Amino acid sequence: MVIIKNMNHVLKDIQLEKDNVFSNYSSSFPISEKLIETIVSFVKK
């Protein structure tokens, strides 16, 4: 199990709590890079 800091429930990286809801429907928030790294690392095992 991995806990990724600043990643919300839609897998996006947010820095401010007020952006949490806005990130649900905005494409301006990227998917967490740490999530991508973690998935790639897992798949390579």
Q: Tell me the DSSP string of 1-45.
A: ----TTB-TTSBB-SSTTHHHHTTT-TTSPBPHHHHHHHHHHHH-
Instruction: Indicate yes or no: pTM above 0.85.
Output: no
pLDDT tens, position by position, 1-45: 899 999 999 999 999 989 999 999 888 999 999 999 999 999 999
Residue 7, pLDDT score: 94
What's the CA gap between 27 and 30, in Å, rounded?
Answer: 7
- The structure tokens listed for 41 are 């690392």
Q: Identify the pLDDT of residue 11.
A: 94
Q: What distance in Å separates the CA atoms of residue 30 and residue 3, rounded to the nearest whole number?
A: 17
Each domain of the chain, given as residue ranges in start order, spans 1-45
